[in-house]
Structure 1
Amino acid sequence: MIVRLSGLPSVRNIAKMMFGTGLAQIVTFLATPLLARLYGPDSFGQQSALLSIVGPMAALTTMAYPVAIVIARTDRDAAAFARLALLGSIAFSILGTALLFVEDMWLMRKLGLAELQALVLLIPALVILTTMNMSAGYMFVRGEQFGVYARAQVVASGVGTAAKLALGFLAPGTLSLIAGNALSYLVAPITLMRTTRRSGQATRLTVGELKNVVWSYRDFPLLRAPQNFISAVSQAVPVIALTSSFGPAAAGHYAVALSLTGAPVMLLGNAVQSVLYPKLTQAAQDGDNTSRLLLRSTLVLLALGAAFFVPIAAFGPWFFALLLGPEWTEAGVYAALLVPVLWTGLANRPAVALIPAINLQGGLLIYEILGTAAKIAAVYVGLWVIGSARWTVGLFSAAGAVAYVLLVLWVYLSNCAIERKSK
């Protein structure tokens, strides 16, 4: 089906991305039982809580420029996007972290994250590394260097996992987990720099060129960046809520459940979205029928997801207890509860990839605001009305699943309307 829709080259590219991402996920999966026993739920929870601050901050400070790399009109524009994202992450992450120190870290204490105060100074470095990693990944996709990118993902997973294991035996704790992540973020940027230098494609940009790119692509910082920020906040809400109300162990169970159960979303979803993003953009620009590709790709992902998510929904607690040990049974419960949001999150990847191509970014911002409000409301009911961590995760998952289904319907119907007008 996908072959008929997008052609053999696209299938090869998806296969390359899936192979690289798959190997990376296998490395992580195989190491997780040992990591879970070395570190425990508290360390995973504190790491997850810190990264739930880094994620929204990175989404905002990069101004969505990494995403724009793929659809930049010229290679110089793409290089400018990478440069602007890095400059923004350096300047604004330092400013944002400084604001966390206001009133003796009032905000951290208000969010119930007082235990993370000693780690706050790591935030700017993690934001900058996250930005470099994202920009490098999109550069590989733009250049259709899917094989190189796939190898970089495998190396990154291996480096990060090896570091966590080594540090776990020497000094297990939150800082060791974060150090492993930081090292893994460096692999793609270093690979890109080596590739660029060998090919002689290093780009020097003037201030004037950067200004022109900022103005020409102003929709990204004005519309896409707030959307990315709100989306990152919606993902951070359950982690911060569980940490503040039930302690870091609850957040640790949630983080590990999300990591293992979300593997197919990372494996297949990112591979498909990375390849379909430029293909859908080109198809939309050429006036081809993208609605059929969107619908069939979505249905294929739903069918593929069933093979993994149905067993997790049925046997999650038993599987996690067997794999990670009895203390992680609760993570298996969370994994089963997360199935609706992860399954629909996998299926909505083609719709997300099509949004920039048909200029729906303004509507996407409104969608993210409403969707995030629904997720926050669900978490509020779970925490303050029912007072249960399981209900909090379950209601969050249900709200997210409904939001993702509505997103697919909105993009599909909007695209059909655009195609009808163009005929």
Structure 2
Amino acid sequence: MPYKVFSSLQSITKRLKTSNFVRNVAMVGGGIAAGQAIALAFMPFLTRLYGPESFGIAAAFAAIVNIITPISTMGYANAIVMPESDRDAAAVARLSILCGLIIAPLSLILVHVGKPWLAVWTGMEKAPQMLYLIPLTLVIGAFLSVTNQSAIRASLFKAKARAYVESKLFTDTSKLIGGIIAPSELLLILLTIIGQFTNFLMQMLRVPRTGVLKISNWFGTDGVRNAAIEQRDFAIYRMPQSVLNAASLGLPTILLTSLFSASSAGQYSVAVLVLGAPVMLLGSSVGEVFYPKITRAITAKSPSAYKLLFKVSAILFAVGLIPFGTMMIFGEYLFSIIFGQEWVVAGNYSQWLSIWLLSNLVTGASVATLPALGLQRFLLIREVFSVILRATALYVGFKFFESDVIAIALFSIVGFLLSLSIVYVAFRHLFKNSKDWKLIYDNESI
């Protein structure tokens, strides 16, 4: 019996070593792990140089940008992996860049008109001019989105991972040096924007300039109209869904800044940054490799698609339970020791946020499955309810309990329940489809 178990383990290990999927996940995961390791290594120094208020203002600015960033490409950048031919994919890339170049000037007008309100929401009443950086951020974000999705399409995971690591190292080193010389929220914002541009630049220096990755193919109008029509689901459903998702995630930062203080928002942003490391490491690396793999399986109507989703989700839960379980129990103590006594509130937040972020990690595989199943509409509807329910949870915490900790607790519980809804829908549809596909497969075999 022990021999059989050992032999089985050896067989599994051998298959994992030779699996392209596992290799690609490890490659992307290694890059993201290195990037997150850099961020976490610098964080104890940065939190002592800048303080909660500076982090809060920078986080509120980032929340506003993240909410409107999906609009910059109208969601079309995510569709670059969908077309079968590089020619059609290049048309989608052109469409994405064109949207970005149109949206950025429009955002400049909106920033100018809405500056008084945006300044209050982001805590920038003393320096509202910083808000004029938003259009620049959107342009850089559009190019970076196209680059990322084009690299994923071409399976250039190594180049993508290296670019990410280099940009993180450059950004955090610059923040450390700047914090020693003249720390400020403006510096944090500027260096974050420069870091995005560095990511784009480093990535383009490492990929072959052919097909979708040839920059000259990103400009013009050839095939743009057809691409907009063929991939319209991404604009109709994916873009609003991404905006609403970013809005629901950014609500705590914005509301903590406007209703309590920028310092409270800073505590939250650091907690999410630290806890988000496992989510970004595993969720992004698995998602980027899993998305095209599950898409091909569903498109080919493979009966194994259901088992693939179950296997990946189970692995994500098992691995994520270790870091998040630790934070649920010791979060307050660990934050005060690692980041300083003034960050004990962030530790308090982390104990509740761990519940939501663990479920969010597991949900990543299911989210990647829904577009191929034609369930973009469900994602959009779900995000509408997500914003409403999360805003309600925060309002109840602020208004009736007058406690930021209770508000974050309610926000996290709602997030956990919303994550379960996605997992349920993905497995339900895929299980039903898998049974139908198996019947077709068996009949064809006969």
TM-score by length of 2: 0.90
Deviation at 1:105, TM superposition (A): 2.5
Deviation at 1:391, TM superposition (A): 0.8
Partner of 2:71: 60
Distance 1:399 1:131 in 2: 31
The alpha-carbon distance between structure 1 residues 217 and 6, as it changes in their structure 2 partners (threshold 3 A), is: farther
Would the aligned equivalents of 1:277 and 1:353 in 2 still touch at CA under 8 Å?
yes
The alpha-carbon distance between structure 1 residues 117 and 75, as it changes in their structure 2 partners (threshold 3 A), is: same
Q: Aligned match of 1:374 in 389, 393, 399?
A: 389
The alpha-carbon distance between structure 1 residues 396 and 97, as it changes in their structure 2 partners (threshold 3 A), is: farther
Q: Could you tell which deviates more after superposition, 4-13 or 18-27? A: 4-13
Does residue 305 of the first structure (1) align with residue 316 of the second (2)? no
Partner of 1:328: 343
Q: Could you tell which deviates more after superposition, 198-207 or 68-77? A: 198-207
Amino acid at match of 1:377: T
Q: Could you tell which deviates more after superposition, 264-273 or 174-183? A: 174-183
Q: Aligned match of 1:245 in 242, 245, 259?
A: 259
Matched ranges for 1:114-263 at <5 A = 114-115=125-126, 117-196=128-207, 202=214, 203-204=216-217, 206-263=220-277
The alpha-carbon distance between structure 1 residues 97 and 162, as it changes in their structure 2 partners (threshold 3 A), is: same
Cα deviation code 1:364-391 (max 9, x no counterpart): 1111111221111111111112111001
Q: Could you tell which deviates more after superposition, 90-99 or 265-274? A: 90-99
Cα deviation code 1:268-316 (max 9, x no counterpart): 1100000000000111111112111112211111111111011111111
Q: Aligned match of 1:316 in 313, 316, 331?
A: 331
Would the aligned equivalents of 1:238 and 1:379 in 2 still touch at CA under 8 Å?
yes
Amino acid at match of 2:376: Q
The alpha-carbon distance between structure 1 residues 257 and 421, as it changes in their structure 2 partners (threshold 3 A), is: same
The alpha-carbon distance between structure 1 residues 307 and 144, as it changes in their structure 2 partners (threshold 3 A), is: same
Amino acid at match of 1:282: R
Match of 1:207, SS state, is coil
Would the aligned equivalents of 2:121 and 2:255 in 1 still touch at CA under 8 Å?
no
Would the aligned equivalents of 1:159 and 1:180 in 2 still touch at CA under 8 Å?
no
Distance 1:25 1:106 in 2: 33
Amino acid at match of 1:149: K
Deviation at 1:5, TM superposition (A): 9.4
Distance 2:393 2:33 in 1: 33
Deviation at 1:121, TM superposition (A): 0.3
The alpha-carbon distance between structure 1 residues 319 and 27, as it changes in their structure 2 partners (threshold 3 A), is: same
Q: Could you tell which deviates more after superposition, 249-258 or 74-83? A: 74-83
Partner of 2:58: 47
Distance 1:78 1:15 in 2: 26
Distance 1:122 1:39 in 2: 21
Amino acid at match of 1:247: S
Would the aligned equivalents of 1:317 and 1:331 in 2 still touch at CA under 8 Å?
yes
The alpha-carbon distance between structure 1 residues 130 and 148, as it changes in their structure 2 partners (threshold 3 A), is: same
Partner of 2:37: 26
Distance 2:371 2:378 in 1: 11
The alpha-carbon distance between structure 1 residues 182 and 421, as it changes in their structure 2 partners (threshold 3 A), is: same
Amino acid at match of 1:32: M
Deviation at 1:107, TM superposition (A): 5.5
The alpha-carbon distance between structure 1 residues 116 and 372, as it changes in their structure 2 partners (threshold 3 A), is: farther
Equivalent pairs: percent with the same residue? 32
Matched ranges for 1:10-25 at <5 A = 10-25=21-36
Distance 2:159 2:122 in 1: 41
Would the aligned equivalents of 1:63 and 1:221 in 2 still touch at CA under 8 Å?
yes
Q: Aligned match of 2:418 in 403, 409, 413?
A: 403
Q: Could you tell which deviates more after superposition, 130-139 or 294-303? A: 130-139
Would the aligned equivalents of 1:298 and 1:348 in 2 still touch at CA under 8 Å?
yes
Report how many aligned residue pairs link the two structures. 423
Amino acid at match of 1:93: A
Distance 1:28 1:110 in 2: 26
The alpha-carbon distance between structure 1 residues 347 and 4, as it changes in their structure 2 partners (threshold 3 A), is: farther
Match of 1:356, SS state, is coil
Would the aligned equivalents of 2:107 and 2:134 in 1 still touch at CA under 8 Å?
no
Distance 1:174 1:112 in 2: 10
Distance 2:85 2:390 in 1: 39
The alpha-carbon distance between structure 1 residues 2 and 358, as it changes in their structure 2 partners (threshold 3 A), is: farther
Match of 1:386, SS state, is coil
Q: Could you tell which deviates more after superposition, 213-222 or 105-114? A: 105-114
Distance 2:360 2:261 in 1: 27
Cα deviation code 1:302-346 (max 9, x no counterpart): 111111011111111111111111011111111111011100000
Q: Which has the larger radius of gyration?
A: 2
Cα deviation code 1:137-173 (max 9, x no counterpart): 2221111111111111110110111111121122211
What stretches of structure 2 of length at least 5 have no aligned partner?
1-11, 440-446
Q: Could you tell which deviates more after superposition, 142-151 or 8-17? A: 142-151
Deviation at 1:393, TM superposition (A): 0.8
Would the aligned equivalents of 2:394 and 2:410 in 1 still touch at CA under 8 Å?
yes
Distance 1:166 1:104 in 2: 31
Match of 1:387, SS state, is coil
Amino acid at match of 2:239: A
Amino acid at match of 1:374: L
Distance 1:241 1:7 in 2: 48
Match of 2:250, SS state, is helix
Does residue 280 of the first structure (1) align with residue 294 of the second (2)? yes
Amino acid at match of 2:70: A
The alpha-carbon distance between structure 1 residues 157 and 379, as it changes in their structure 2 partners (threshold 3 A), is: same
Deviation at 1:73, TM superposition (A): 2.4
Would the aligned equivalents of 1:47 and 1:174 in 2 still touch at CA under 8 Å?
yes
TM-score by length of 1: 0.94
The alpha-carbon distance between structure 1 residues 103 and 47, as it changes in their structure 2 partners (threshold 3 A), is: closer
Partner of 2:6: none
RMSD of equivalent CA atoms:
2.2
